[in-house]
Amino acid sequence: MPTVTIDGIRVQVETGATILDAARKAGIWIPTLCYHPAVSPQATCRLCMVELDRGDWKQLVTSCNYPVRRDIEVSVSSARAVAARRGVMQLLLARAPENEQLKALAERMGVEGTPYPTVTTSQRDCILCGLCTAICAEVLGRSAIAFSGRGPERAVTTPFRQPAEDCIGCGACALVCPVGTIQIRMHEEEGEIEISPFKTRTKMLACQECGAPVGSVLVLKEALDRAPMHRESLAELTRLCPRCRRKRTAARLTEGRTLAAQAGYVAGTKKAE
Amino acid sequence: MTVLSSERLGSPADLEGKRRQWRERSRSCTKRVRVCIGPGCLAKGSLALYELFNQAVAEAGADVQVEAKGVGCHGLCERGPIVIVEPGEIFYQRVEEPDVAEIFRETVVGGRVIERLLYEDPDTGAKARTAQDIPFYKAQMRIALGHSGLIDPTSIEDYIALEGYAALAKALAAMTPEQVLAQVERSGLRGRGGGGFPTARKWRSCRNAPGQPKYVICNGDEGDPGAFMDRAIMEGNPHAILEGMAIGAYAIGSSQGYIYVRNEYPISVERLKEAIQQAEQLGLLGQDILGTGFSFDIRINRGGGAFVCGESTALMASLEGRPGEPRAKYVHTVESGLRGKPTNLNNVETWANVPAVINRGGEWFASIGTETSKGTKVFSLVGKIENTGLVEVPMGITLRRIIEEIGGGIPGGKAFKAVQTGGPSGGCIPAEHLDTAVDFDELTKLGSMMGSGGMIVMDEDTCMVNVARYFLNFLHAESCGKCTPCREGLAQMLAILDRITHGEGRQGDVERLEELADLLEGTALCALGKTAANPVLSTIRYFRDEYDAHILQQRCPAKECRGLFRYEIDPEACKACGLCLKDCPVDAISGGKKVPHVIDQGKCTRCGTCLDKCPFGAVLKV
């Protein structure tokens, strides 16, 4: 196992692990935005830059996707690495100056505001990190959203900016969005779930018992297709909201116990009673 | 297109037999008209000339043995269309359609030279009969361009008659892959696409990388503004690329190659396609090449029009059918490239050099050039230069010789200001460094780079701040937008340069540009972003005074940035003709008959119409 020396702390990691993995193991914080363990490294935000010592020269690398293949020495706190991360953060702040999450991260990094004006406006409040498109493609296998446009025109969009047919309204994109730009909106009166800002809407399933929202119909369908369970019993469960589901399960258990007691079968029940 | 009469060549001896046969046949016809159908001449209508010559040949009858032939680029595009008549290699320039009949009658049939169509030295007035009498050609040396200009690019027979595929036969029949690698290593050949990475080292890494199959790729996504070297090779000497790739594939252990050609080069695609077909037909590509057991196929892929696809990882993504965006190269493409397999990518010109290296040996190639840069380099010489065109020169030649001797200097008696090398990511080199030897390392030391070989010459009327803005604007638009520094940083830099060139620069702008340039260099994902600031940095380095004039005095010394200079009418020179007055779109000019005209600076929008209209040169930029 190769050894990574980070700011003087030595940790061993599996071959192929990243510098970021090593840093987390060493308890050293490196700011990240486009990193998420559920998807492959994007390395687009460039916020996790560290300085790699190559012996006769030093190189800035992104820690989230630099694979450790031999013993290496890395500096997170070198002046050059700090300046690089600060510079990248300033550019991001110029892009999304109002974003609270971004401002909070900047503060944690010790970056006070940005000297730059806002000059890129292809997508408001979005830092184009790519986590949403990656999770939609890699984990959901849907690609309901993807990048469109090039350079200054780049934006995350649905195909032709129309509501995406491939969107199942799962909200994974909103979950991984590091700056909270993607939001799940519930429209209870219409019985629909909207993924904002993509304007895609999917039908919401209402609980059979109480009418409360259970989730997107398409997500439940997907879950039924994928789950290694008895289809009918799962289908039955998914038609209920979590609260009613608990109630029904409890009722069944009680019913089962009553039946068992009637049959004179008592094993395992004594302690609970 | 030549219709092939031949069947597959089963062995190197078969190839030699055909070579002798085709060489003899070509010698039997002593009269030949070679019409350049390279990019420059083609744009000036040379295809029509070629057809007219063909017609003339057909009408001449059987007793006149003449052949008309379309050939690849001659280089002196400025004087195109170029027509060369054999015997005698008579070099005719700026040939027009009505000249065809005269050339055919006088020179081809009559053997007389038409003085009017010869090249005339602008300084001495001396007429040149052949290319070798023209200063433009004297300092040049052709390896990569090879027989382009002599051979018909659509004829494999032409290529074979002139040593074509001899290097491949030699490599397959008489050399081990290791020996091929050793020759390429000895040659010192470095990548011609921009980076200058040692070719043999790349090949060896790919050969040694675990994983099958292995791929070789030819990068024909030439996208630098003003550059057309690779296009000229693809369209003038396509078989040299195929042969080079086949040799490389043999050395590396690959049986599948791809040529990625930018979509804007339809003729390149056509010529390469035709060349591949011909080579396959003769068994020089495909299964069991020349009966040696080595198999190699080449496919052509067209790019989608993104500059960034010239970057190797973006190119491979595009080849796979994904968006053409680069990825980190912490794991090199020779280990994990196309479809995650070991992949060796070289530029068009690099591949085109390989047959010569094998034919004549690595030692020979290494004898040309400088200590660290061997062989020749093709440059497209454009901008404010007398002889616009394509030049191939030995490495180590000075910029001065390229610009003054070959290029013929700056037109209109203007003074040289800078030469931009290395494409949009290169830098601007000023007059004081004109005696620098052109090689990979020397150009890098000057803050520029070799790049793929674009060379844009600028004269005293060029504003260097505006040049920086132009290239930055290009890269800003061509950035894929994947990583923050390139997408956001270039936008910020462009905004600053826009302000400066509009006279709204502020103190500290230059320092901010330098800061952003440094950030980009350190943090951008790919080479496009890492080097994007070079035009800005090099112009700051050599032309800081121009930045200061813009920022501190709202003045453009080259009088190019609109609003940072004014137009005035010289009352002595003004003949009061009224032309400017009549055409001024904002009625800012007053005056009458015999009254010198005056521009009202308050109304003037500095559009420059008066300057263009004045027949007496009385309108001045001040």
pLDDT in tens, B88-110: 899 999 999 999 989 988 998 88
Asked, as a colleague might, if the bond just before B81 is cis with ω within 30 of 0, I would say yes
Residue in A49, A92, A151 closest to B479 by CB: A151
Which residues, other chains included, contact B17 with Cβ-Cβ below 8 Å and sequence gap of 6+? none
Reported as a pLDDT band with limits 50, 70 and 90, residue A188 is confident
Does residue B345 sit in the same domain as residue B396?
A: no
Cβ-contact A14, A30 below 8 angstroms: no
Has residue B125 been placed in a domain?
yes
Q: What is the pLDDT of residue B509?
A: 97
Q: What is the pLDDT of residue A255?
A: 80
Degrees to nearest 5, angle at CA B13 with B8 and B18 = 60
CATH number of the domain encompassing residue B497: 1.20.1440.230
Can you say how many angstroms the Cα of residue B217 is from the centroid of all Cα atoms in its chain?
A: 19
Residue type, A225: D
- Of the CA atoms within 13 Å of residue A216, those in its CB half-sphere come to 19
Cβ-contact B576, B541 below 8 angstroms: no
CA distance B188 to B197: 10
Cβ-contact B340, B209 below 8 angstroms: no
Has residue B561 been placed in a domain?
no
CA distance B98 to B78: 20
Mean pLDDT across A56-77:
96
Mean pLDDT across A158-168:
92
pLDDT per position as a tens digit, B456-503: 999 999 999 999 999 999 999 999 999 999 999 999 999 999 999 999
pLDDT per position as a tens digit, B459-468: 999 999 999 9
* Residue A183, helix vs strand vs coil: strand
Which residues, other chains included, contact A232 with Cβ-Cβ below 8 Å and sequence gap of 6+? none
Whether the CA torsion B203, B204, B205, B207 is positive or negative: it is positive
Does residue B89 sit in the same domain as residue B176?
A: no
Chain A hits for B484, Cβ within 8 Å: 44-47, 88, 91-92, 127-128
Between positions 46 and 105 of A, the ones with CB within 8 A of B are 46-47, 49, 60-62, 65-67, 80, 83-84, 87-88, 91-92, 94-95
Does residue B107 sit in the same domain as residue B250?
A: no
CATH number of the domain encompassing residue B108: 3.40.30.10
Does residue B413 sit in the same domain as residue B472?
A: no
Within an 8 Å CB–CB cutoff, is residue A151 touching chain B? Answer: yes
Mean pLDDT across B555-575:
91
Has residue B521 been placed in a domain?
yes
CATH number of the domain encompassing residue B392: 3.10.20.600
CA distance B145 to B273: 19
Helices (H), B423-524: 440-445, 464-478, 484, 490-501, 509-523
The chain B residue lying nearest A48, using CA atoms, is B523
Nearest-CA neighbor of B183 among B200, B168, B169, B164? B200
Does residue B208 sit in the same domain as residue B287?
A: yes
Does residue B414 sit in the same domain as residue B510?
A: no
Mutate to test the interface with A, among B313, B330, B476, B494 (most CBs of A within 10 A): B330
Q: Between helices B348-360 and B177-187, what is the axis angle to 10°?
A: 100
Number of folded domains in chain B? 5
CA distance B449 to A233: 68
Within an 8 Å CB–CB cutoff, is residue B509 touching chain A? Answer: no
Q: What is the pLDDT of residue A267?
A: 53
Whether residues B522 and A67 touch (CB distance < 8 A) is answered with no
* pLDDT tops 50 at residue A270: no
Does residue B32 sit in the same domain as residue B47?
A: yes
- Of the CA atoms within 13 Å of residue B227, those in its CB half-sphere come to 28
Whether residues A150 and B512 touch (CB distance < 8 A) is answered with no
Q: Which CATH architecture has domain A3-109?
A: Roll (3.10)
pLDDT per position as a tens digit, A231-248: 777 777 778 888 888 888
Cβ-contact B616, B578 below 8 angstroms: no
The chain B residue lying nearest A58, using CA atoms, is B522
- Domain hosting residue B541, numbered range: 464-553
Q: Between helices A79-95 and B509-523, what is the axis angle to 10°?
A: 110
Whether residues B482 and A130 touch (CB distance < 8 A) is answered with yes
* pLDDT tops 70 at residue B5: no
Cβ-contact B504, B512 below 8 angstroms: no
CA distance B479 to chain A (A): 5
* pLDDT tops 90 at residue A135: yes
Last residue of a domain, one of B339, B366, B393: B366
Nearest-CA neighbor of B238 among B197, B268, B262? B268
CA distance A253 to chain B (A): 52
CATH number of the domain encompassing residue B581: 3.30.70.20
Helices (H), chain A: 19-26, 79-95, 100-109, 131-134, 172-176, 217-226, 231-238, 242-262
Has residue B548 been placed in a domain?
yes
Q: What is the pLDDT of residue A273?
A: 39
In SS3 terms, B2-54 reads as CCCCCCCCCCHHHHHHHHHHHHHHHHHCCEEEEEECCHHHHHCCHHHHHHHHH
How distant, in Å, are the alpha carbons of A171, A246, B68, B118 from that of B131?
A: 70, 92, 19, 10
Position of tokens 């109304």? B603
Burial of A273 (C-beta count, 10 Å sphere; 0-12/13-18/19+): exposed
Cβ-contact B250, B294 below 8 angstroms: yes
* pLDDT tops 60 at residue B319: yes
Of chain A, the percentage scoring pLDDT greater than 70 comes to: 96
Within an 8 Å CB–CB cutoff, is residue B43 touching chain A? Answer: no
Mutate to test the interface with A, among B492, B509, B530 (most CBs of A within 10 A): B492
CA distance A101 to A125: 11
Chain A hits for B479, Cβ within 8 Å: 150-152
Greatest distance between any 2 Cα atoms in chain A: 82
Mean pLDDT across B591-612:
90
Has residue B87 been placed in a domain?
yes
CA distance A91 to B523: 12
Mean residue pLDDT of chain A comes to 90
CA distance B540 to chain A (A): 21
Does residue B210 sit in the same domain as residue B84?
A: no
pLDDT per position as a tens digit, A173-182: 999 999 999 9
Tokens for B509?
């702008």
Chain A hits for B490, Cβ within 8 Å: 151
Which of the residue ranges A233-242, B292-301, B605-614 would you say has the lowest mean pLDDT?
A: A233-242
Which of the residue ranges A156-160, B36-40, B180-184, B373-377 would you say has the lowest mean pLDDT?
A: B36-40
pLDDT per position as a tens digit, B338-347: 999 999 999 9
Chain A hits for B519, Cβ within 8 Å: 83-84, 87-88, 91
Within B66-188, strands assigned E span: 66-71, 83-86, 90-92, 119-120, 127-128
Does residue B293 sit in the same domain as residue B183?
A: yes
CA distance A20 to A29: 9
Q: What is the pLDDT of residue A19?
A: 97
CA distance B552 to B547: 8
Q: Cα torsion at B413, B417, B418, B424 (round to 10°)?
A: -90
Q: Cα torsion at B326, B330, B334, B340 (round to 10°)?
A: -70
Tokens for B417?
């200001």
Q: Between helices B238-252 and B229-236, what is the axis angle to 10°?
A: 90
The chain B residue lying nearest A16, using CA atoms, is B331
Reported as a pLDDT band with limits 50, 70 and 90, residue A127 is very high
Q: What is the pLDDT of residue B6?
A: 59
Residue in B323, B477, B484 closest to A151 by CB: B477
Long-range contacts of B183-187 (CB under 8 A, 24+ apart): B183/B357, B183/B358, B183/B361, B183/B362, B184/B251, B184/B354, B184/B357, B184/B362, B185/B362, B186/B361, B186/B362, B186/B363, B186/B365, B186/B366, B187/B357, B187/B361, B187/B362, B187/B363, B187/B365, B187/B366, B187/B374, B187/B375
Provide the residue ranges of all domains of chain A, joining segments of one domain with +.
Answer: 3-109, 131-254
CA distance B482 to B478: 11
Has residue B258 been placed in a domain?
yes
CA distance B499 to chain A (A): 13
Asked, as a colleague might, if the bond just before A67 is cis with ω within 30 of 0, I would say no
Mean pLDDT across A105-125:
94
Which residues, other chains included, contact A27 with Cβ-Cβ below 8 Å and sequence gap of 6+? A9
Residue in A47, A61, A94 closest to B488 by CB: A94
Mutate to test the interface with B, among A52, A91, A105 (most CBs of B within 10 A): A91
pLDDT per position as a tens digit, B266-287: 999 999 999 999 999 999 999 9
CA distance A181 to B185: 53
Does residue B473 sit in the same domain as residue B579?
A: no
Tokens for B459?
């004269």
Of chain B, the percentage scoring pLDDT greater than 70 comes to: 99
Has residue B156 been placed in a domain?
no
Residue in B476, B484, B525 closest to A152 by CB: B476
CA distance B513 to B498: 12
Cβ-contact B176, B305 below 8 angstroms: no
Mean residue pLDDT of chain B comes to 93
Which uninterrupted H or E stretch holds B278?
A: helix B266-281
**DSSP summary character for residue B115:** G
- Of the CA atoms within 13 Å of residue A218, those in its CB half-sphere come to 17
The chain A residue lying nearest B487, using CA atoms, is A151
* pLDDT tops 60 at residue B367: yes
Nearest-CA neighbor of B483 among B311, B347, B260, B337? B311
CA distance A204 to A207: 10
CA distance B511 to A155: 31
Reported as a pLDDT band with limits 50, 70 and 90, residue B597 is very high
pLDDT per position as a tens digit, B238-263: 999 999 999 999 999 999 999 999 99
Has residue B560 been placed in a domain?
no
Last residue of a domain, one of B459, B491, B524: B459
Q: What is the pLDDT of residue A272?
A: 42
Q: Cα torsion at A54, A58, A62, A67 (round to 10°)?
A: 0
Cβ-contact B429, B383 below 8 angstroms: no
pLDDT per position as a tens digit, B176-231: 999 999 999 999 999 998 889 999 999 999 999 999 999 999 999 998 888 999 99
Report the residue count for chain B: 622
Cβ of A54: how many Cβ atoms within 10 Å? 11
CA distance B353 to B184: 10
Does residue B612 sit in the same domain as residue B547?
A: no
**DSSP summary character for residue B415:** P
